[in-house]
């Protein structure tokens, strides 16, 4: 695993923020669970079977990730708070160019 340090900020709808440190290669879900970010449970451990790691990618960060696969898009389509930028954090693999990533909690 790459040891490139990445800063990921999780923002709640109420304005609370959680600043976390991550390493390239980790998923955003792994980082959120390790830092006890409220609302990110990761019940399935990242196998895309539960959707308990729903996040919304802010518009400016959308181009930083590949589009969701069909299975992921199908899972998030009917979640509370889902929008066209909804993603499963377990499917967002962090890379060195995500150094100051922000993800919103629905």
| pTM of the predicted structure, to 2 decimals | 0.92
- Per-residue pLDDT reduced to its tens digit, 72-92: 999 999 898 899 999 999 999
Buried b (16+ CB within 10 A) or exposed e, 51-70: bbbbbbbeeebeeebeebee
Q: Is the pLDDT of residue 105 over 50?
A: yes
Indicate whether 1 pLDDT > 80: no
Question: What mean pLDDT, rounded, does the chain reach?
Answer: 93
Domains and CATH numbers, the chain: 5-104 (3.10.20.30)
What pLDDT is attached to residue 3? 65
Sheet harboring 17-23: ordered strands across? 17-23, 5-11, 100-104, 54-56, 86-88
Closest CA to 8 of 77, 42, 58: 58
Per DSSP bridges, beta strands 54-56 and 86-88 are antiparallel
Q: Give residue 99's pLDDT band: very low, low, confident or very high (50, 70, 90).
A: confident
């Amino acid at each position: 695993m790459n040891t490139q340090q990445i800063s990921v900020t999780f923002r709640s709808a109420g304005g609370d923020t959680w600043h976390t440190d991550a390493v390239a290669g980790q998923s955003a879900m792994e980082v959120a669970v390790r830092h006890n970010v409220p609302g990110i449970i990761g019940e399935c451990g990242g196998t895309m079977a539960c959707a308990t790691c729903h996040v919304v990618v802010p518009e400016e960060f959308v181009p930083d990730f590949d589009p969701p696969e069909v299975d992921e898009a199908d899972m998030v389509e009917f979640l509370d708070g889902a929008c066209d930028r909804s993603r499963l954090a377990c499917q967002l693999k962090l890379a060195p160019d995500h150094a100051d990533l922000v993800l919103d909690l629905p």
